[in-house]
Structure 1
Amino acid sequence: MNLRSLVKYVFRRDTTHHGEFSLMLKLAGRECPRVIVDVGANDGYYGSNSFPFVARRWRAVLIEPHPVAFARLQKLHTGRPNVTCLNVACSDVAGTLPLWMGTDGDAGTMSTLSTDDHPHFQKVRTNQSVPVVVERLETILARLEIPPEFGILSIDTEGLDCEVLLGLHLNIWRPRLIVTEDFGPKDSKKALYLEGRDYRLAGKIAANSFWTPVDR
């Protein structure tokens, strides 16, 4: 942890990469329901969009398919009744799929379900995989009785954010803020999907895009 990250954590409990937490708070609004869903939560701390909200006692659903990263996530949040950790992946079709390991190994930040033949994945995706359970996000939220108008949905799934969104009927589920990770080949499709369901691009920080309902 560098000095800047240490200062952010000590004074604000901010673990986000580039200070995304401040913009997330602003865009979600003061009356935002205190529920955050983090798809691709990794270890739940380093570069985490959800940890600052967990630290403020928000209800949190943290989803991470990588087995080693999930073990760290679960250990971090042991004893926190406001946190549910799930060792599954999310996409538009339920089933079982290979999770391809990244070149960062057990760190898990580069693991992906994506099989896209893209230069990025040619560099960081290995030929090693583990089978993981895949669920539609709406199935998980319904099972956990998350209210349709919850607070924040943060997605960071290494090229699969669009498929995660396709597994959530946004005419029913209306998070106050959606945070997605940019991935060039699918950004246009993702934008069309969100704009077609009355979300607008409200901001960007680094590779993160922030989407809010047009009526807010």
Structure 2
Amino acid sequence: MRKFSFLSPSQSLKWICLIILTFLVLELLLFNCFIFYGLGVLHRTFGPLLNIGDVDWKEDLKQARWVRELVYRGKAGGFVSLLQDTVERVYMIEGGGSEGKKIKTFGIDVSHSGEFLYIYKHILARRHFPYARLVVDIGANDGLLSSNSFNFIQMGWSALLVEPQASQAEMAAKNVVRYVNPYRDNNQTVKVIKNVISNKSGVVSFLRRSDIADMEGHIAEEEVFYPDNPPEGDIIQVVSITVKRFTSKYNVPKYFGVLSIDAEGTGNQILHSFIDLGFRPGYIIYEDLHERAFELPDLTEKYLNENGYRLLSRRGWNLIFCHQARK
């Protein structure tokens, strides 16, 4: 008969202690590896903070590879996924009977300086809003970060998102597709248009700037509007269309809800073209940061006043105008 030998209690205890000790050592080594790796990343990223002189640590941080990759992944749908898996999972139910109950969810105003909530509250305070629920966003970028159109799309508005940089336009399509027509029986249309709008049709040179979020690209010849910050980036060729061609091609109604213009140097031309062609959006969001070489803000306000608008507010670099003539 085969004999089996068993460990004594003291030997078993020694083996158990040895296994636990080995596990703790390996865990400690692995943990330290992560710590040293993290310290290395922090040192390379925040090292400039320890320097004295003209070092701009914020710019160094923006250029850090891991920061740029994080922003890129977020712009390409990551931030929207995070939004839908956190804030939008919180809801409230109100009402009486089963047919009368309503679900309310929380949301985040993603516009740069609260432009969306400012305008939407203004709309809700009106007795009548005789404008098509359409937002035209010139310079839409990724359709999410600092977007003046994203929240309107969430609310069921149709949209025309104009973005000449193909990579940013593709991000915009990914970011808004989940909000288009989920419960609206196909009565909402959102189009992402890979063009630049200017005063001429054809192919133009476009400077794709290397800022952290790729938000300051502009027609190359407009570099005169960046005297204090010489433009850097890659020159790409994009198709340009005029406002007249754009509005005809996409059947833009004369009276629509919101026109947002962030065109980095050509916004004044676009704004004048819409107004001169007889379009009267209910609200205009106009970034004038790089437009002042052509038209100062007080001249823009005077021009719009003459065409039935009044200045409501300045939010960051954006001027917000409201149309007054239509009842």
Question: TM-score when scaled to structure 2?
Answer: 0.58
Give yes or no for the alignment of 1:68 onto 2:184: no
- How is 1:67-216 mapped onto 2 (pairs within 5 angstroms)? 67-78=166-177, 80=180, 82-104=189-211, 107-113=213-219, 114-118=221-225, 120=226, 123=229, 125-126=231-232, 128-170=234-276, 172-183=278-289, 184-188=292-296, 189-215=299-325
Are the counterparts in 2 of residues 15 and 51 from structure 1 also a CA contact under 8 Å? yes
Distance 1:171 1:135, change over 3 A: closer
Q: Aligned equivalents of 1:71 and 1:193: distance in 2?
A: 35
Gaps of 5+ in 1: none
Q: Aligned equivalents of 1:49 and 1:64: distance in 2?
A: 13
* Count of aligned positions: 209
RMSD: 2.6
Alpha-carbon shift at residue 187 of structure 1 (Å): 3.9
Are the counterparts in 1 of residues 132 and 253 from structure 2 also a CA contact under 8 Å? no
Are the counterparts in 1 of residues 150 and 176 from structure 2 also a CA contact under 8 Å? no
Q: Taking every aligned residue pair, what percent have the same amino acid on both sides?
A: 27
Are the counterparts in 2 of residues 63 and 87 from structure 1 also a CA contact under 8 Å? yes
Alpha-carbon shift at residue 57 of structure 1 (Å): 1.1
* AA matched with 1:49: N
Are the counterparts in 2 of residues 99 and 130 from structure 1 also a CA contact under 8 Å? yes
Give yes or no for the alignment of 1:36 onto 2:135: yes
Are the counterparts in 2 of residues 93 and 167 from structure 1 also a CA contact under 8 Å? no
Alpha-carbon shift at residue 198 of structure 1 (Å): 2.6
Distance 1:124 1:73, change over 3 A: farther
Q: Would you tell me which structure has more strand in proportion to its own residues?
A: 1
Are the counterparts in 2 of residues 91 and 166 from structure 1 also a CA contact under 8 Å? no
Are the counterparts in 1 of residues 313 and 321 from structure 2 also a CA contact under 8 Å? yes
Alpha-carbon shift at residue 185 of structure 1 (Å): 2.2
SS in 2 for 1:204: strand
Deviations 1:3-56 (A, max 9, x none): xxx7xx753342112211111214445524311100000000111110000011
Are the counterparts in 2 of residues 91 and 167 from structure 1 also a CA contact under 8 Å? no
Distance 1:187 1:211, change over 3 A: farther
Alpha-carbon shift at residue 121 of structure 1 (Å): 5.3
More RCO (CA 8 Å, sep 6+): 1
* AA matched with 1:61: L
Equivalent residue in structure 2 for 1:23, among 118, 127, 150: 118
SS in 2 for 1:151: strand
Distance 1:140 1:27, change over 3 A: farther
Deviations 1:138-195 (A, max 9, x none): 3222222222101100011112210212332445211001110023323425334423
SS in 2 for 1:168: helix
Are the counterparts in 1 of residues 153 and 176 from structure 2 also a CA contact under 8 Å? no
Q: Aligned equivalents of 1:62 and 1:137: distance in 2?
A: 14
Are the counterparts in 2 of residues 17 and 47 from structure 1 also a CA contact under 8 Å? yes
Question: TM-score when scaled to structure 1?
Answer: 0.84
Q: Would you tell me which structure has more helix in proportion to its own residues?
A: 2
Distance 1:121 1:61, change over 3 A: farther
Which has the higher Rg, Structure 1 or Structure 2?
Answer: 2
SS in 1 for 2:256: coil
Deviations 1:89-122 (A, max 9, x none): 11122222111121317x320101152424x355
More displaced stretch, 192-201 vs 41-50: 192-201
